[in-house]
Structure 1
Amino acid sequence: MCSGIEHGSCRVSDDGRLVWAHVVLGPEEDWQECRVVLDARDGRELARLPLDGAASGSHHMSHPDGLHMGLCVGMGQDGILLHWARRDGEELTGRDLDESSDRILMDVHPGHPGFLTVEHHGADLTLHALDGTVLAEGVPEPSDEEDPPRWDHSCGFVDADTVIASTVESDEDPDRPLHWMLDARTLRVRDAVVYPTGRVRGHVRPLGDGTWLTYDDGSGTLDRWTVATASA
């Protein structure tokens, strides 16, 4: 890739009209990371917004309001940039989440006003308003172990009322639950997920429609679950 970035990212807007991209522009000796909006029909550049930082990678996420597009940029030892932007006429306007927060953008849901992030080291999950205001914080269930449990980078909205998340250390301890259901408004843990097939390892991928996916590396099995098929 170009100097200063290992890989960028792009996403087509939900209405199919725009392509949002995180790219490096300019000559190698004077490059600039930017957010760029293109016309999805002909690739014509419509707007551009410079960014500060040197990315190692990024991902985009559409906001359900149809106007804003989120961008999460990993910058290695320099932390994480979380940036929301919208196109106002011919201009692109945006704002960063608090630069000191070091948070990863995880999920949004059309039936919920906030967006979900996880602290880079898994200390907590946080629900934010679009302007970055913290609406709720959730921490893993305490344990008797010396090292407190941490959230994995695998979480999101099962539906507008429920968040599912997994804890890192639980994957190594067969006696502890791995996946947890949280209240989507308060991020308080409701209960551990108990699967009828026994312990289910691996990450969760919530789909927002009341279901979620799990993938078992050992067996290569991909399963789709609902609250009815996995009691919580």
Structure 2
Amino acid sequence: MKAELISKAECAQPGPSRLTHGQGWFTQEQGLLTLLDREFTPFRTFDLGEDLSSFAVSPDLTRVVAGGKDHIRLLDEHGTTLWSVEHTPWGTGYSYSGSCAFSADGSQVWATVPETGPGCEPHDEDAEDDEDAEDAWLEGDEWWVVNAATGALMARKWLGCEATGSVTHLHPDGVHMGLDVGEGQDGSRIYWGAYENGVLRLSATDDVTRALTDIHPDGHAYVTIPRDADGISVHTFPGRAVIAHRPDRDFLRSDEWPIDARYLDRESILVETVDRNWTCARHLVLDAEDLRFRGEITYPPGTVPSSFHSVHAGTWHTNDGNHLCAWRPGR
């Protein structure tokens, strides 16, 4: 399957990446976040500070939430801090890094924080109390839902894990949030959350051997890759049942394994593999429903394969160190 070059633009390093759901572009270096227009011209810059754990840009591109080592703060389009909420510092125990995201309408901030220590408990009369909840894990890191306008804690849930890192996924239904948490040698955990009618509902998969990489554009399924398992799987949402599985031996060479898998469009999944040196090996296309192997992406002569990113609406981007290249499957 040939890759068709759509555009090629010179870019300084680090090159730009697309914001969630294709709503803009950004570069991030040494605490400075720069938003770019479609021509990659900078139009807004935020100083996110040192010891940055994560950040997220609001749907209207006017605000940024920055997760620091011991706080979460919201900045407006002028760089002014509108509010800041403290939490136990990352790295205090075995929790090293988190993630954050805005809800679909920008009214909430979802953020993971380390296990809350003595004297750091959030105090808010409107926050949901988990102590009597049947589905609560009363230990480990927490998932907070914060009012984006005021910084007030709306709800929180214990996750029962200690993250080395995590990624928050916005579900297309605008209600649910997905959370992939890596725990190093202890594997990976997947959580689903929804805040409705003043209550945060949380569920988790029992499998700690797989990582959530993407959600189908229609929201009815999601794809996972192995951490301590075999092959790529597609699961139903919200049921979480496996509806398709492709073992490694069916599409991988003996010296490679999948490192990422994203929905290229509603019908196909783009998979990246790496070799034993953690170097990008191949880009493969699988059917989104049954994971049937559709083909390997072949690039024009002289193109050095590199990690894909900014997968969106049938296109993806690569960066060769000097140029940002946009691709789509050849017709």
Scaled by the length of structure 2, the TM-score of the pair is 0.60
SS at match of 1:42: coil
Deviations along 1:111-159, whole A, 9 cap, x unmatched?
35201110015731111112321111124565896x36421x2220111
Q: 1:116 to 1:206 in 2, by over 3 A?
A: farther
**For residue 147 of structure 2, what is the amino acid of its counterpart?**
D
Matched, 1:138 2:138: no
SS at match of 1:168: strand
SS at match of 1:65: coil
Q: 1:32 to 1:140 in 2, by over 3 A?
A: closer
Aligned twin of 1:64: 172
Deviations along 1:85-112, whole A, 9 cap, x unmatched?
1113121111111234x11111113235
8 A contact 1:155–1:204 mirrored in 2: no
**Structure 1: how far apart are the matches of 2:294 and 2:245?**
14
Aligned twin of 2:99: 9
Q: 1:171 to 1:6 in 2, by over 3 A?
A: closer
Matched, 1:117 2:224: yes
8 A contact 1:127–1:136 mirrored in 2: yes
Aligned length: 222
**For residue 27 of structure 1, what is the amino acid of its counterpart?**
P
**How much does 1:59 deviate?**
1.2
Aligned twin of 2:324: 222
8 A contact 1:154–1:203 mirrored in 2: no
Q: Which one of 195, 198, 210 corresponds to residue 314 of structure 2?
A: 210
Q: Which one of 158, 167, 170 corresponds to residue 264 of structure 2?
A: 158
**How much does 1:40 deviate?**
0.9
**Structure 1: how far apart are the matches of 2:118 and 2:104?**
32
Deviations along 1:170-203, whole A, 9 cap, x unmatched?
98999xx711111111111111112234554121
8 A contact 1:37–1:46 mirrored in 2: yes
SS at match of 1:194: coil
In structure 2, runs of 5+ residues without a counterpart are: 1-89, 122-138
**How much does 1:213 deviate?**
1.2
8 A contact 1:142–1:148 mirrored in 2: no
**Structure 1: how far apart are the matches of 2:192 and 2:252?**
39
8 A contact 1:213–1:223 mirrored in 2: yes
**For residue 214 of structure 1, what is the amino acid of its counterpart?**
T
The CA RMSD measured in Å over matched residues stands at 2.9
**Structure 2: how far apart are the matches of 1:158 and 1:46?**
35
Deviations along 1:37-59, whole A, 9 cap, x unmatched?
01111111111111112211111
Aligned twin of 2:112: 22
Scaled by the length of structure 1, the TM-score of the pair is 0.84
Matched, 1:181 2:285: yes
In structure 1, runs of 5+ residues without a counterpart are: none
SS at match of 1:132: coil
Q: 1:189 to 1:141 in 2, by over 3 A?
A: farther
8 A contact 1:137–1:186 mirrored in 2: yes
**How much does 1:206 deviate?**
5.0
8 A contact 1:68–1:86 mirrored in 2: yes
SS at match of 2:264: strand
**For residue 99 of structure 1, what is the amino acid of its counterpart?**
D
SS at match of 2:151: coil
